[in-house]
Structure 1
Amino acid sequence: MTDAPSASGRPRSVAPGPPPFVEPPPGWEFLLTDQGLAALAEATLELESGAAPDAVNRRLRTLGRAPEEAAALLTQAQLRERARAKFGPLASELLFTPAGLEQASRISVSRGHAARFSDAGCERVADLGCGIGTESIAMLEQGIAPEAVELDGFTARLAEHNLATVAARRGSRAPRVRTADAVDVDLSGIDGAFLDPARRTAGHRETRRLSSPDDYSPSLDFAFGIGSRMPTGVKLGPGLDRDLIPGEAEAQWVSVDGHVVETALWFGALARPGIARAALVHRGGAIHEMTASGDAPDVDVRSMGEYLYEPDGAVIRARLIGALAEHLGAGMMSAGIAYLTGDELIATPFAQTFRLLERLPVKEKALRRALAARGIGTLEIKKRGADVDPAALRARLRLRGAEHATLLLTRDETGKHCALLAERC
């Protein structure tokens, strides 16, 4: 056993030896045969056409498929259905594991990663911990030669299938996927590296998320060490402890349609000069970005205006609320709360905007009467700075009526709780 420093600076034991082998679920080997892929294509098409999973399973059994093969085909077809949200139509041709799909980036986000490497002139990039191959797929599309490495042998075989599928579309050579531990890979002749450290326990399904960055595989220390030597991108969770971000890295928080999906750290030639913080927002198929040389200080609290802006989660995580406020000519709604308020309606992809209609009573009985008097039967409840369960409150309000509105539970410029009736702009 040898000791290596962890991301938190504490020694951590690292055991040498071959990569662990995780047995694939029963029947999943069949998916990698020509017969299995043909059967899977049929099952996928059936689900896409609206067939019930039970009906698909019965048909597979009627055709003589062994129970474990039928289960594998149905599970994989359902994974493809779920994967459409991340991969679009391409999902119908790829193979997944539940854990691999959970950790995989959306293909639109991965294409942004690959573009960084392409813009930096990287031609061969090591995809260390490639999972099901999403990043390598995006690299192939950019004309980059991926050197894909995956610790789990079965996942590596699925990734190799996925890369071969995309390479065939492009008429290019299918890359191999090497089964190895990222820490053992020789990076000689490589122009750059991308790492997506595993944040779940080993396995193909029923995995759990790791809570400590010290448990990431490979470790953050290893990933950041590569970043000190070559152009490197490291994909991490959106809730990454900011104290772990190296000073030389560009930190970019990425959201897709309002959901923050990752923190990406960029090193070397991939880090843009003068940019330390970035919020990248994918919304409605368009991409927008806000950048700064560092955290933006909050602006002053002001009295409530006609409009309330709720910054996108990527803007909040990047601590660029103050920069957004300056752009909008807005102020903080209340100290320490990520709501902005202003007098003008300014369209922005970096925030949801609400027109404030009136201030309602905070006490629940009075609030229920006020909503009933206005005939509001459908109510979106949003809160910041208020200790309330929106779903439970909605049930207790016993809403009836044909009108719909948004209720914002927060604090005003004095720090006092307030209930604001609003409409989305």
Structure 2
Amino acid sequence: MDLDAFSALLDDEGQALLASLRHHDPADELATATRLRREHPAALVSAALGQARLRQRAAAKFGDDAYRMYFTPDGVEQATRTAVAEHRAARFAALGVRRLADLCCGIGGDAIALARAGIEVLAVDRSELTCAVARANAQALGLDGLIEVRCADVTQVDTAPYDALFTDPARRGGREKKARSASAEGRWRATGGRIFDPEAYSPPLSWAVEAARTLPHAAIKVAPGIPHEAVPEDAAPEWVSYAGDVKEAVLWFGTDDSIRATLLPSSAGLTSAGLPAPAVGPVGRYLYEPDGAVIRAHLVAEAAAHLDGRLIDETIAYITSDELRATPYATAYEITDTLPFNLKKLKALLRERRIGTAVIKKRGSAVEPDELRRKLKLDGPNSCVVVLTRVAGAPTMLLAQAVPTTRTASGAPGAAPTPLVDR
């Protein structure tokens, strides 16, 4: 979609066409396109159908707002999920931020959340089409009074009039080719489109850090896998997950926070206390798998202390204890069997218990879950969790049942054991 095709979607005919495609079924697209082209220009029909598909994809991130918003293919993929953007906007608002420069704004997902938090936003991107989309989104959601969209090279923007900065550098090959600055030319590396070298971001991380240091508050969005040694000493890194999936890492400047893991949608947060590595001990009745944000933030020791637990191996991020404790920081499993890894024994045990559905998890094991599943030939009405890992250095298989979340008597989030299958 080019700028002219997008502009056509904003006039009366384009708006009516988009409204008619709200409940469009992609399986009927050929017939729909044929019918609509009898009454509308072919280019407009193509643009509207493409936008309808993007809106349907975007609904997972933006909810009902997606059907009032506009997207590009890269914009849907790279835009921040609403819950994550709202969390970040709330942090900026709590810091007293009133005017913020959003650099590399994309289609405006973060700018929208910031504006809804009462913050005046300058949203900047180099792509004219992307800026047009961001501008249309601000207007569609009634936020154009708080969001100014500017098409420019972010490295040339004067941020002095603002009291905070948010930068989301390009970290994917496709977008990088379009948006990188001259200083980053030829310096990026990508695998499957993803860029792993922070200096290959567009703009480079070093530029973003220097820009962040010029204002009272700032945040830089980086890849979740950023090495801890690449985090500047004056930055407070935060890893954010949503429903257990790690979504991003952010380097905060101008705060007193330490390393932090934030788990959405609950907003549970865990911060570094500088604890030593947890003790290692035998597998207890319960196994806890820390949330990915906790692991990325290197806060397994803090989670273990919260659970009064221990590690099953000094190199494995599994926590165990003999008592069940409520926690937002990990998923609990009740262990039924702890055995040395043996495929023949595992197959016999699952066949005996009539296990037809198994969730296979691995950490510290060379076994591939898909390959193992084919070999197990599961059959039966029951289910279990198979954990392939190491215990005190030895390859081990743990059979378990997930512990469902419930409420404690006090009303706080808790967990209760579930009966084991075929005891």
Q: Deviations over 1:337-386 (max 9, x none)?
A: 01011001112111111000113562222321221111001111001111
Q: What percentage of residue pairs aligned between the two structures are identical? A: 39
Q: Distance in 2 between matches of 1:37 and 1:293?
A: 53
Q: Distance in 1 between matches of 2:281 and 2:342?
A: 24
Amino acid at match of 2:272: A
Q: Deviations over 1:126-168 (max 9, x none)?
A: 0111100011101110111101111111100000000112226
Amino acid at match of 2:150: R
Please state if 1:31 is matched with 2:22. no
Residue 23 (structure 2) aligned to one of 45, 54, 61:
45
Q: Normalising by the residue count of structure 1, what TM-score does the alignment of the two structures yield?
A: 0.86
Match of 2:267, SS? strand
* Number of the residue aligned with 1:276: 258
Q: Distance in 2 between matches of 1:312 and 1:346?
A: 15
Give the deviation of 1:121 after TM superposition. Answer: 1.7
Q: Normalising by the residue count of structure 2, what TM-score does the alignment of the two structures yield?
A: 0.87
Summarize the Cα distance change of 1:251–1:204 in structure 2 as closer, same or farther, 3 Å threshold.
Answer: closer
After superposing the two structures, state which structure 1 stretch, 374-383 or 352-361, moved more: 352-361
Residue 175 (structure 1) aligned to one of 130, 142, 147:
147
Please state if 1:297 is matched with 2:288. no
Match of 2:80, SS? coil
Q: Which runs of 5+ in 1 are unaligned?
A: 1-22
Give the deviation of 1:27 after TM superposition. Answer: 3.9
Q: Distance in 2 between matches of 1:418 and 1:219?
A: 43
Please state if 1:57 is matched with 2:11. no
Residue 133 (structure 1) aligned to one of 108, 115, 122:
108
Match of 2:58, SS? helix
Amino acid at match of 2:24: E
Give the deviation of 1:246 after TM superposition. Answer: 0.8
Please state if 1:76 is matched with 2:51. yes
Match of 2:312, SS? strand
* Number of the residue aligned with 1:232: 218
Residue 249 (structure 2) aligned to one of 260, 263, 266:
263
Residue 346 (structure 2) aligned to one of 359, 367, 389:
367
Q: Distance in 2 between matches of 1:39 and 1:205?
A: 33
Match of 1:197, SS? coil
1:326-405 superposed matches below 5 A: 326-360=305-339, 362-405=341-384
Q: Distance in 2 between matches of 1:361 and 1:179?
A: 60
Q: Distance in 2 between matches of 1:53 and 1:349?
A: 43
* Number of the residue aligned with 1:103: 78
Q: Deviations over 1:171-202 (max 9, x none)?
A: x6263311001110012321111000011235
Amino acid at match of 1:411: R
Amino acid at match of 1:240: I
Q: Is the 8 A contact 2:235 2:252 kept in 1?
A: yes
Q: Distance in 2 between matches of 1:348 and 1:63?
A: 58
After superposing the two structures, state which structure 1 stretch, 358-367 or 105-114, moved more: 358-367
* Number of the residue aligned with 1:192: 164
Amino acid at match of 2:137: N
Q: Distance in 2 between matches of 1:265 and 1:281?
A: 16
Amino acid at match of 1:197: P
Q: Distance in 2 between matches of 1:104 and 1:195?
A: 13
After superposing the two structures, state which structure 1 stretch, 365-374 or 250-259, moved more: 365-374
Q: Is the 8 A contact 1:26 1:72 kept in 2?
A: no
Amino acid at match of 1:60: L
Q: Deviations over 1:73-103 (max 9, x none)?
A: 2221111111111111111111111111211
1:130-169 superposed matches below 5 A: 130-167=105-142
Amino acid at match of 1:385: G
Match of 1:132, SS? coil
Q: Deviations over 1:27-68 (max 9, x none)?
A: 444323332232122212334xx97444443433343440x4
Q: Distance in 2 between matches of 1:80 and 1:101?
A: 8
Q: Distance in 1 between matches of 2:400 and 2:212?
A: 47
Summarize the Cα distance change of 1:57–1:388 in structure 2 as closer, same or farther, 3 Å threshold.
Answer: farther
After superposing the two structures, state which structure 1 stretch, 313-322 or 80-89, moved more: 80-89
Summarize the Cα distance change of 1:289–1:360 in structure 2 as closer, same or farther, 3 Å threshold.
Answer: same
Please state if 1:417 is matched with 2:395. yes
Q: Is the 8 A contact 2:120 2:146 kept in 1?
A: no
Q: Is the 8 A contact 1:156 1:178 kept in 2?
A: yes
Amino acid at match of 1:279: A
Q: Is the 8 A contact 1:164 1:174 kept in 2?
A: no
Q: Distance in 1 between matches of 2:155 and 2:311?
A: 46
Please state if 1:213 is matched with 2:198. yes
Q: Distance in 2 between matches of 1:304 and 1:25?
A: 60
